[in-house]
Amino acid sequence: MIPLRSPFYEVKAVLYDTKAAIFRDVRPGEVVYFTTILKHRGSNSRGGAYAADVSMFNIHNSSWVTKSQSEMANIVYKLFVLEEIKDWEAYKAEQNRKMWASIGVIQEGESHNEET
């Protein structure tokens, strides 16, 4: 078995409300990623292959859901606008700066230095 993991994605928008608990709790600004395992899934008697399962993990609330690849793609593309986070370290630094600015520790535009 070979585990496969996507890059991190920031949820830019939620397009529709849903009753599904895991998807209902996703908010703009949260970060998700997708995983699957590369392994033989088998086939049915008609010669068709079984679908691979894909898990979506929300790092903000440590929740995940597993669906078939086609179900997950259908749900995600209908519900969310996602943007790939190309530089994870820069993203984390920017989120920390926003957090410190929001509680008044630093002024907007400054950076937080723990030594000061």
Q: How many CB atoms lie within 10 A of CB 8?
A: 19
Least confident of 43-47, 69-73, 86-90, 91-95: 43-47
Higher pLDDT, 78 or 46: 78
What number is the average pLDDT over the span 46-65?
A: 84
Report pLDDT for 108. 61
pLDDT in tens, 56-82: 999 998 999 999 998 999 999 999 999
Mean of per-residue pLDDT scores for the chain: 85
Max CA distance (Å), the chain = 68
* More confident call, 20 vs 27: 27
Instruction: Enumerate the domain spans of the chain.
Output: 2-85, 87-116
